[in-house]
Structures are given as C-alpha cells and as structure tokens.
Structure 1
C-alpha cells in the first residue's frame, strides 16, 4: 500500500500536501498518536509515506482516507479504495497478512541493524589520501564543512580544473544558497518540488567523496537523516570492476553483503538512498538512449543497464539518488534526470585557516606558521581552495617548519609537490621498515625504478584522460602491483569480486599529482634521450625526429608550450607548469638520485622566459595567457607583473602581454572592483581583449566601443552566469554586435545565477531577429534586468511588438532614434503599452 499512498500524495498540490502533513501532526484517528512536526516539516512525499508506516502500520490507509475527506479530495479516496481492493484480490494471503510490521519488517530491521555498524566502521576514519601508508584519522576530528551551493557554474566544463579554481567560485557571496551536506535532499524555502535525484559537481580533490563519507557516517551514527531506512554506496571506480550480469538486488549484496535477504523485502515500502560516487571515473558506456528498459529489481542485466534504469527511475522510482562528478564528466547523464544540481566550491579563506587549525590541533604555533607561509604565495593560497591541496601543503609544512636544517620552504607549486614526493618514501620506510637509509638521495635511488614507472603510468593515463586505473594498466608499465599498493603515492581500494579474487583500483592522490609525475617522466625521458617515450605527444619538426639527442632543454620547453597553447580546454596547463618548474636547478637538486641532472640550466631558463613573453603577443585565449604567467612564476620570474604595474602607474601604452598580467592581478585581488572601464587603459584592441575576463570581478563593467569579438561575448556571458559574479551593470554600447552577437548574452540573462540589473546595447546594429531572443530572456522568471537601452539600432515593427510584453518587467526601456517602418518606435511602444495595460515600464525616447 505504500506505493499507492505515495501516488496519492504526488497528486496533491503543494498547499494540500502541506495541509496533509498538518493533519498528521494533529492526529485524526483516536488511538493514533500525532507525528511530531519536527519530523514532518521538511519531509518529502516518500518521507511522509515512510513516517506513516513507522507510526501507523496498516492504519495508515484509514488515516489517509480521513485526511483526504477533510481536504475534500473524494476522487483520491475512491482511487485509494479501488487500489486497496485490487491489492487484496491479487493475493490470497493478503487477508491474513498484517503489513510490514510482521516477518518482512523484522527482517528489514535486522538488516538495518547490520548495515549501520558496518558503514560506521567503514567511514568513521579517513587517511586524507595516503592510502595504506599513514595512520587513520577520525573523520569528525578533521572534517571541515564545505561550501555547497544550490545550482552550478555554467561554462566551466571545457576548462582545466585548476583554472576553474581561479575564475569560478572563490568569492562566496550572500546571494549564494548554501546547502549543508546532510540536507542535500531537503527543499529550500519557497521550493515546490520533491528532491529525489541530486547531481553534485566539483573539481578533483574539492571534497566530493569526503562529503559522501560524512553523509553516510552521520546517518550510520544516528546524527542525521534518520528517516532513511537503507543507504547504498556504489563508487564508479569499483563498479568498473563488475563483470557479467547482476540483478539490482544482487549488485547491492555484492557491495553490501550485510544486506543478505533483502530480496525478501518489498523495497518500495522503505526510504532508500543510492549514492553513485565519482561519475568521472566511470568506464561504463551509460547509454541512456539505447539501453533496454528494466523495472524488475530481481531481473539480471549488465551493470550499465542497471545504472541507467536506476538513474531514469525505472528501477525503484521512489528511491533517492545522489551522484557526484567532476564537471567535465557530468554531461554523461541528461540534466533533466535531476531535481537538483549542486556544486561544491571548496574552502573559503576562513575555512582554509580553520583546516590548518584542525590539522595541527595540538600545535597552534605550527598551524599559524603553516597558514602564514601559504598566504605569502598567491599560487599556493589559491590552490588551498581545494581541501586535498590543503592536506598536501600541511603534510609538507608539518615536516619542514619544525626543522630549520631542512632547507628552503617551498613557495611554488612545483616546489610543494616535489617536497610532497620526497616525504612519501620516508613514510613508506618508516612504516614497513625495509631499509634504514635516512639520506634523501639514497632513498630516492632505492625507489627510483618504481617512481619513474609511476611517472610513465601517469603520463600514459593523462594522454588517455583516465584518472583511475587497474592492474592491467600497471602491468603495461612494468609496475609490481604489490609494491604499488605499499606506496604512499597511490591509493588502493580492494574489491571482492564474485569470482572470489581480490581486485585493486588505483589512482593518484590527486589529478594534479598525476600531472606532476607525468612531467617528471617527460623530463627524465628527455635527459636519457628516450624520444619515443614522449615524441608523439609534443610537436616536432621533421629534422628533429632524426636527431632527438640534439634537442636542448629550451627546445623541449618550446614544444611543451606550443602544445599547451593549442589546447582549447587547457588540459596541459598544469603539466606545463610542472615541467618548467622541474627544470630549475633548485628542484633538480632536491631530486638527486631520482632525476638525472640536465646540467646548468640558467641559459635555457633565460631563453624560455623570453620565449614565454613573446607568446603573449599571439592570439592565445586569456586562460592560456594567465597560465603562462603561472609558468613564469614557476621559473621564479615575476618581471611581467612588475612591468605591468609600472606601465599602469606611468600612463604609458600597455602591451597585450602586460594586459594579461594586469588582468590576472585584478582577478586575484581580494577587493571587488566597483567599476571596470576597459577604455581607461592605454592599450591596443588586442590588449583590451586580454582585459575582458576582469568583468567576472566587478560590479559595473564598461566595454563600450571596444570591438568585442564572439569569444569576448562568450567570456562576458560566462561571467554573468557565474554563481560568484558581482556584475550588476553592463555597458556594451557601440560594439556592432549584431543579432548573432547578443545570443550568448540572452542565454546568460535566463540563468538563475545572473543578477544583472542594467544593460546598455545601444548602437549595436540590432535588428528584429536579435530582439526576439532578447525578449524571450526578459520574460524568463530568472531575469533580474530593470533597465535596458536599445537606442540607435535597426528595429522594425516586427521587432517592436515582442518588446511590448517585456515592459511589465522593466523599469526603464530606452529607445532613442531607432529605425522603424511607420510610427517611431517609442511612440508605437507607448501606444501598445497602454493597450496592454502596463504601468510599470518607462520609455525614454530622447536621443542617446
């Protein structure tokens, strides 16, 4: 009957459903205790059905009938009675069956009593990424609440994730709607929808899996979501290992053996949560178009078919579903499949400091020293937005800050990762006691073969776009699986397959560390003239293919820079930064015993710095230009930023290269600009285009008369859709955008994240076809625009008509002298506006 009651509740409108819950709180039948409002208030329809089952058993049908009478829904009463009769007629045992509080209910309770302790034991501790090479730490001792928002940033899926850190969501604002991890399925105030399927996006290491871990742990320990009966965690990296066909129930028992006997329970009577963690790690096709439909939880099929039907709601349609993914992989599942999209935005500045305090909870001085050091390096401080990078930094600084003899504390990204690599062999030797060497060089020499093979693995998997890999991938690189499982560099997850043999899943502690080791592999191959190891990866001239040994370090740098600049999504940006940073003598000296020294590199580094500066003169995207600035930082060269500041203060003409540096500095300023007027900067049109990304970091942007390109319009549209954009006033006048140029802007205006209030599109050669999508955007409930200037455009009668309907939303519409057939446009708008009865929109007809 639970399924039938749920169908009835789905047919109730929001206000009737709220009234239904109020009656449950009051009590409608004698002898039936009221359900406390604290348990009812935020409940979804499936949650209410579960509560009624817990409180009333078989009487829940009678209570439903009584409440439906009180809210005058006799049609639903008839459906309930007919459904109940059919249910009884279908089963000869139903007359003696007393509902879920008999044998099946007792079985469900026994399974629940087994599952909660098992999940608590599994998720109560965290290793913070070290795999098998460190002591376990209680999760509740280290966990810092992450900033999760309702909605997600549009347009980041094609960017390197480290670039997203710097441009998307660092500055959380009061307009954002934060959601606590444990409330992921609960409605926000004013929302009239039951949240059953949730997709949470977040870049690598941002805290998706740790959020899942906390969510499950709090349920298992009774801290939250106690209306949930069963919880099933199915990580994609482990689902990849499942071969053959399973029923959904069989798959659940494979991952949760404590649920043995669950096939005897009618799961529709219970509140279930499925968590599919790490969609980006999936190697399953997930073909939502061609996979067969499946609705029987006992029928066998491939894992791929089971998952697509679970996600589409064909299997267990009332179950709650939470999927996590890196942004680039999220489009594997149709967006319409979800009731809520959320994004984990990582640590705010305050949370970064809180993490360090928790990490060194018994060493306040060390916590302060560590956090202060990180703040002195802009690149390190930005990266600490990622919780896992906070852990990497804290691990390194914990080792170094208390030892003045240890050497210089790293200030660059490459330096930090190099020191992080160095502490891994020391940890391994301390734990397993295989050797007594204390000198870093000797330790690296002893681990050289395995580390360089891991570098080869990292490079090969980076080329393929894989972030998890399996035993066969390791064997291709000649890696001993047992040795790899004892390395702190890899995290190993064991999964017992149906055939009874143990399988292992490998990943690097973070995607960025995979890119670091890939760069290490390329540099090592270069020093040993192993051109075959990376030659196909980097562009080459025909003459170089025959004499690879004649390539200089600078030649290698040039090839990597050219390859990275040609990448549209910047997937090699971080790899390039590490490759250049590892070329410094200071970093190579730390890696003695592992990396063959390339000799004195000062001349090659000087040439590379000069070459990078010349690259700014090309037509690379702003993202690639800013990454080149990071590359200069890795080479300990900050001359370009200093020169940009000098040019700005002197009033001299600023080169495009210096505009890129200036844009980077403005984007990373803690203070949001009140106004950004691109015309105030003495530079060329190319230089102005390099400054366009600053619109993401200002309240008012003036981009008038600067010959905006289609790419620039996309950047502006992206800024408008960012959840963290403070942009409220935008002047795009005199840019000759035309009808096609406004299309991305119109799409942005419909975004729920867009907060733009004033838009100037005057003198842009807009015609009637350009006004149509603009009016559609104005009608969108998400559009916040109050003032619009369309003066001096080419609007005809067919363009004016749809504008009339938009006047009810606008405070001010400025038309000025626009081309029209017949009446002047402002007069026609006033006339039509009166016919429509609108008294809100004000039309300004004066020339602009």
Structure 2
C-alpha cells in the first residue's frame, strides 16, 4: 500500500510553522538584548535558547563584532547567572570537605577524595517497612545483582527510556547510615563545580533537621530561600527557571505534613508556615516547574503520597566491589582486607558506609598500637574497641592524658553510662534524634556530651537567632543499640534489676541465666526483629574477653557456666518449629557472638560428607544450613539445590536462601530452573534457563507441596527476583492458591510465568501490579469457576 503522502505534507508544514515561530521568538529576544535600551525582562533573557545564544555569539565573532558579543553575553547572564555563580561558590565551600562518621567526628577530608560510588537501584519500595533496618540491610547485602535497574547519582533526574513522563520528584529510600546524605552532598558539589547537571540553573539543598526548628515561623518561599541562601536575595521570580530543591532526611521531619487538609498555595511570595510551603512544593501546586529530591529511611517513605512521586530509588550501600574500593583507600595491607572479608558478620555490615568508617577507625588504631594486634571477630568486639578508642580520644583531648595505658576516669565512666541510659530509653520509644530535655532526664550536660564527638554528635551548627533547639543523635542506630545493651547489662549486674522484664520485678534478683533467657524470649517475641541486634550485643558483652577491654567501666561477670546455659537454651529454641526463619538466623548470629559454632561446624561436616540429602534434618539443622549458605564466601548466584532433599520441609527450610538468592544455580549446560524428585526420591534439581543474573526460574513440579507452603512462597513472590514459577503436580488446594494470589498482587512481584490452576488466580491476574503473561493450567482441575 502506498503511504498517505498528504499526511506527510501536512506534518512537514506543521513542523516548518513551529520552527519558524521558534526562530522568530528567539530573534526578537536577540533584538531586545542588543538594543540600546533593552526591554526584555530577566525571565525573557533566561528563556533565550542556549543553542541560539552560542550560534549568535559565533556569528558576531566572525563578523568582528566582539563588543556586541560581550554585550549579549553580559545581558543573558543577568541576575540568575550571578545568583547561580554565587550559589555554586557557597555550595563548594559547604560540601567540598566532609567529616566522616558525623558532623564533627574525625578529621575533615575532601569529599571527592573519600567518596566511593554507591549502589543505587531504580524502583525501590515506598511502602512502610517496619523490619529492623540492620536486618533490611543484611537481606539486601545477600542479594546478587538484582533485577531492578541501577542508576547513578548524576543521572537521578535524567529522562528514563522506559517512561515518557518527565521526572519532577524523586524519593530516595535507604537505611540509616547507608549514604543518602553524602549522596545529596556529592550531587550538589558536582553541580557547583560544573561537572554534572548544568541544565539546572539553581540548586537549593535543605535538611529536615534545619527546617524542624522553623516550625513556628512564617515564611514565603522567596523568604525561606533568602533565609538559608543569601545568593538568592536579589531573585524575585523562579517561574521560568529550572530549579532543584533537595530535602534530606524525611524520617527526621517533625513538621505536620498533611497532604489532605493543607490549603493550596501558588504564590511564592505569600508567607505561611513551613509545613504549608513543603506540602505545596511536593504536590506541585507551588512552583510546578521545580524539581524535588527527597531522601528518607524506609519506614517514613509513605508520608509522601504516591501521586506526588515520579520515581522511587533505593540506596543499597556498597556492593562487594565498592566495599573493597573503600577499604583500599584506607589500608595498603591486604591481610587487613582479607580479615574483614573472613569475618562475615563484619563484612555483611560493611554494606553501610558509616559502619565501614567505624570499622576502619578501629582497625587503624589497633594497627598503630601494636605490630600484631588481635583484630575483632564479632560485632560486639568491634563496638567495644570503638567505645574504648573514643574514651581515649576524649581524655587525651580534654585532659591531656597519655593514651598509652589509659584507664576509665570517673568523668568518662559517668558520661558513657549516662549515654547508655539515654540510648536504651530512647530506643524503647523508637527515637533516633533527641533534644536537650531528653539529655537532662538522663543526667547529661549537652555541651559535655557533644565533646564525645565519635559517639555522640551535636548535629546542628550554632547560629544565634536561627536555631531555637539543638538536636542530637548517635552516629548510627547500631551504636545506639550497643550502648542500650551496655546499659541493660550494667543495670543488672550492679543492682539486680532486669530491664528486659515487663514490668520490672521487685522481688529478689534473678539468676544470671534467667536474665539472658528473658532477653532471648523478648527478642523472639518481637515481630519485626527490632531487638535482634540489641540481643547480639547483650550476649556478646557477657564474654570475659569483652569485659576485660571495658575494665573500669563494666561490672565483671565472667561465668562460663552462665554462657553455656544460655547457649543450651538458644539451641533448644532453634528446634522449635514455630520459630520463623528470620529469628532462627539471628539466634545463630547470637551463638557467634558467644563464640559457639558447634551447630555450624556440624552442618558443614554433613555438607562435606554429602549427608544432607540422606539425614533426618531437624529444624535447627535447616536453620544452620541456611545460616551457613547465607554467611559463606561463595556467590549465591551459584547455589545448587541438587544436594538437598526434595520435600516441602526442605523448601521451607531453605526458603530464606531462595529469597536472598538472585538465582539458585548458574550452569552453562542446563536451560531452566527445575526442582523435582530424583528417581530414587532424593535430591533437588535446579537448573538455569538463561545466564542473565536477573531471572529466577523456580519449578516446584511434583515436590509434594501442600497449602502450608503457599504463605511462605507468597513472600518470595514479593521480595525476590523470581520470574518463573511452576507449581504443577502439587496438591495446593484453593486455600493455598489464595495465599499465592496475595503475593501476585504485590507491587514488587516480578513473576510473569505461572503454571498452576484455580479460579482464585483471577483477582490476582487482574491486579494492576500483575505482570503474568503466561499461565499454564495443564494437569490441574480448576473446577466450575474456571471462567472467572
């Protein structure tokens, strides 16, 4: 068929008309700019196309009209360019050097020198996630290359090839200390130095910590910018400018961001409360042409309505390669880096940049003190060393101590114990930032506490008349939990009071074993693992080796019998079938803190001897196997299930590994994942359909699965890279299929091929989140409701 030529003629004419109109507009602006009395406003000068400006300057120079070229350049520069240049200078001074670890912790260093690229994915989950943040981080660290698209800092606002819509607002989530703030600082510094994103004419970075203290003050948008950024004082209009606002730390926001009842504001010169300004900026009523970047911890992400967010990104911290780059900037000795890699609890935590800084600080000081130092092998040991180091730094700085054989002074001891009380009480309330009143309740002097720079950080700079409150925080949640455990330990051994009992018993003091048993029980009752890390630290502090390092601070216990009884109790809990996989894994971390690896070594021996497929595995055995696989140095992309039992019990026991794996076997000879029985009834086969790291094909055909498997499998659908799932030849029943459907409805679910029957699939397949494109109902009996 001949193409419709008339259509192409019409389109060509429309194009010519639009081009001519554009050229005429640009020429008119040029005439005004080059006239003796230019009538163009600042906004009109800013609207002159960069391409037209460059071409015009080139022509004027070829015509030997240098004075006109300079006049044109000066008049297009205008107030915006002057403001931009001053703002860039301001941001360079502010962000060129940073303090690792906290606002005043450590020596400042050039940001460009210490910055290590972070692993950022596009399309993170913005729903509330109440799981403990260290647990979130540990789960993320075990994943291989995830199917989400990765994105770099400089491309955060670049158009996405898969989305025609322009990006106006980006919400970046990430756990505490993972590098969100440094990421925004690097973005701002790169812009200020002319490296990236030069299409942005102005960039204004804020923190919610700064904005919190203005909650009772009225500002217009123009006044707010002038308040924080003096270079903007001569600007009156932003409507025609490409402006980016950065708001860092939404989780620390104490302003009432009410998107349903806050009135609409469109005038940037009208004075209102700061929360009204923020709500209208975020929803686009005020300055709709502006770009926004908001960072937050996961639990606070849902404060921003989904319709106000163009794209969600997630900062995952460091990949293995990025961790190595970080440590190689600080250590030239390969044995130190090898030690870090060999201690899996430390290496996994190193996905958090702030933890890398703490670990590097400890190791550097230990290397300076002795030629062959005893390097920490547990989290508790590492944090004990860090606390001792900070005590020495404080005493040397303020009391001129020698630092060589420093003991705890009464002042330093009282300070740390008061900080520990604050850590525990605020942890119980769920607070990560505190005010002077919180400090006073624990007998802390704010100025004295701020001196403890590496442990306790005064996060606000002091400016008379600007800040009404001072805000404080520990440099990371894990350090707060460590100090909280120290407070619980010291309280029990100095007074007999068990703070883990609710209500606190006023009867005779408990035995040491009862004290630790109650802590284990409390942690296991936590539905989201909020006491997991706290429990690790509390048990680790019971070891004589750690208590010797804290000699002069802690009351000694030193009962090996108590530790053995605690270990015995933990092993008993591991055999309870009702114990979740997540709680089981944490109990193995607890055993590691107690220097007990007996269960792990036993399962490693069974693996080496090939006995797993033939052994009657207990619940503790499966938990040990999962812990070994998740903690091993081997890449989880090369996980072969053929050595294990093909049964529902095996699947449930190893589900944490499947959940964390990007794929369960990498093989050049097999073509798809398949989990089925051997002819002898033992072993699992798992093959690879393709070699791309972003597909997980899991076929559970004929594995004797029941409805009991479906709830846990549904969680895999919503949290792993599973794309193909074959559940045929299993008696899942309607109740099981209904559970699976809940996983299919989940937004993160990436499944697009499902082989299973049942009418209950209809609602899941019709969900807006469903990606299923292939449905195989063979060898099933869907029943009369099949048509639904």
CA distance in 2, matches of 1:253, 1:621: 54
Contact 2:243 2:290 in 1 (8 A): yes
Between the two proteins, the alignment pairs up a number of residues equal to 704
Helix, strand or coil at the partner of 1:260: helix
Note the C-alpha offset of 1:737.
Answer: 4.6
1:274-302 CA deviation, whole Å, 9 max, x = no partner? 11111111223322222232222222332
2:734 aligned partner? 738
2:353 aligned partner? 387
Comparing 614-623 with 117-126, which one deviates more in the overlay? 614-623
Is it true that 1:572 corresponds to 2:531 in the alignment? yes
Is it true that 1:226 corresponds to 2:225 in the alignment? no
1:772 aligned partner? 762
Note the C-alpha offset of 1:714.
Answer: 4.9
Picking from 627, 630, 637, the partner of 2:586 is 627
Is it true that 1:545 corresponds to 2:533 in the alignment? no
2:69 aligned partner? none
Helix, strand or coil at the partner of 2:260: coil
Contact 2:173 2:296 in 1 (8 A): yes
2:450 aligned partner? 485
Contact 2:408 2:553 in 1 (8 A): no
Is it true that 1:707 corresponds to 2:697 in the alignment? no
2:776 aligned partner? 788
Query: How is 1:330-409 mapped onto 2 (pairs within 5 angstroms)?
Result: 330-360=301-331, 364-365=332-333, 368-404=334-370, 407-409=373-375
Picking from 481, 485, 505, the partner of 1:515 is 481
1:462 aligned partner? 427
1:438 aligned partner? 403
Picking from 436, 440, 447, the partner of 1:475 is 440
Picking from 202, 222, 234, the partner of 1:249 is 222
Note the C-alpha offset of 1:128.
Answer: 1.0
2:549 aligned partner? 590
Contact 1:713 1:745 in 2 (8 A): no
Picking from 729, 745, 748, the partner of 2:744 is 748
1:71 aligned partner? none
CA distance in 2, matches of 1:396, 1:24: 67
1:708-760 CA deviation, whole Å, 9 max, x = no partner? 43xx54543343344x6265444365242525744554653774661x45433
Helix, strand or coil at the partner of 1:442: coil
1:559 aligned partner? 518
Note the C-alpha offset of 1:209.
Answer: 0.6
Contact 1:279 1:329 in 2 (8 A): yes
Note the C-alpha offset of 1:425.
Answer: 2.2
CA distance in 1, matches of 2:348, 2:45: 46
CA distance in 1, matches of 2:579, 2:204: 46
Helix, strand or coil at the partner of 2:472: strand
1:572-599 CA deviation, whole Å, 9 max, x = no partner? 111111111111111111001111112x
Helix, strand or coil at the partner of 1:198: strand
Alignment CA distance shift 1:427-1:500 (3 Å): same
2:389 aligned partner? 423
CA distance in 2, matches of 1:385, 1:124: 24
Picking from 716, 720, 736, the partner of 1:719 is 716
Picking from 272, 288, 291, the partner of 2:259 is 288
1:549-579 CA deviation, whole Å, 9 max, x = no partner? 2x12222211111111111111111111111
Note the C-alpha offset of 1:508.
Answer: 1.1
Alignment CA distance shift 1:611-1:317 (3 Å): same
Helix, strand or coil at the partner of 2:460: strand
CA distance in 1, matches of 2:490, 2:748: 49
Alignment CA distance shift 1:440-1:256 (3 Å): farther
Note the C-alpha offset of 1:20.
Answer: 11
Helix, strand or coil at the partner of 1:571: coil
Alignment CA distance shift 1:759-1:641 (3 Å): farther
Note the C-alpha offset of 1:491.
Answer: 2.2
Alignment CA distance shift 1:548-1:507 (3 Å): farther
CA distance in 1, matches of 2:573, 2:456: 36
Picking from 561, 573, 590, the partner of 1:603 is 561
Helix, strand or coil at the partner of 1:144: coil
Alignment CA distance shift 1:24-1:453 (3 Å): farther
5+ long unaligned stretches in structure 2: 1-10, 31-42, 57-71, 665-695
Note the C-alpha offset of 1:506.
Answer: 1.4
CA distance in 1, matches of 2:224, 2:589: 46
2:101 aligned partner? 129
Note the C-alpha offset of 1:615.
Answer: 1.1
Helix, strand or coil at the partner of 1:680: coil
1:657 aligned partner? 620
Which TM-score applies when normalising by structure 1?
Answer: 0.76
CA distance in 2, matches of 1:374, 1:286: 43
Helix, strand or coil at the partner of 1:672: helix
Note the C-alpha offset of 1:392.
Answer: 1.3
1:680 aligned partner? 645
5+ long unaligned stretches in structure 1: 1-14, 35-46, 61-99, 803-848
Alignment CA distance shift 1:661-1:190 (3 Å): same
Alignment CA distance shift 1:377-1:169 (3 Å): closer
1:237-281 CA deviation, whole Å, 9 max, x = no partner? 22222231322333333332443344xx21111111111111111
Contact 1:557 1:580 in 2 (8 A): yes
1:299 aligned partner? 270
1:426-483 CA deviation, whole Å, 9 max, x = no partner? 23344x3423142555146541111111111111111111111222221221111111
**RMSD, aligned α-carbons:** 3.6
Alignment CA distance shift 1:405-1:556 (3 Å): farther
Query: How is 1:27-46 mapped onto 2 (pairs within 5 angstroms)?
Result: none
Picking from 690, 693, 697, the partner of 2:656 is 693
CA distance in 2, matches of 1:377, 1:149: 27
Is it true that 1:195 corresponds to 2:155 in the alignment? no
Comparing 166-175 with 652-661, which one deviates more in the overlay? 166-175
2:60 aligned partner? none
1:604-642 CA deviation, whole Å, 9 max, x = no partner? 110111111111233122111111111111111111222
Comparing 48-57 with 663-672, which one deviates more in the overlay? 48-57
Alignment CA distance shift 1:104-1:301 (3 Å): farther
2:4 aligned partner? none
Query: How is 1:170-189 mapped onto 2 (pairs within 5 angstroms)?
Result: 170-173=142-145, 175-189=147-161
Alignment CA distance shift 1:548-1:714 (3 Å): farther
Contact 1:539 1:559 in 2 (8 A): no
Note the C-alpha offset of 1:225.
Answer: 1.1
CA distance in 1, matches of 2:222, 2:255: 19
Is it true that 1:761 corresponds to 2:775 in the alignment? no
Helix, strand or coil at the partner of 1:359: coil
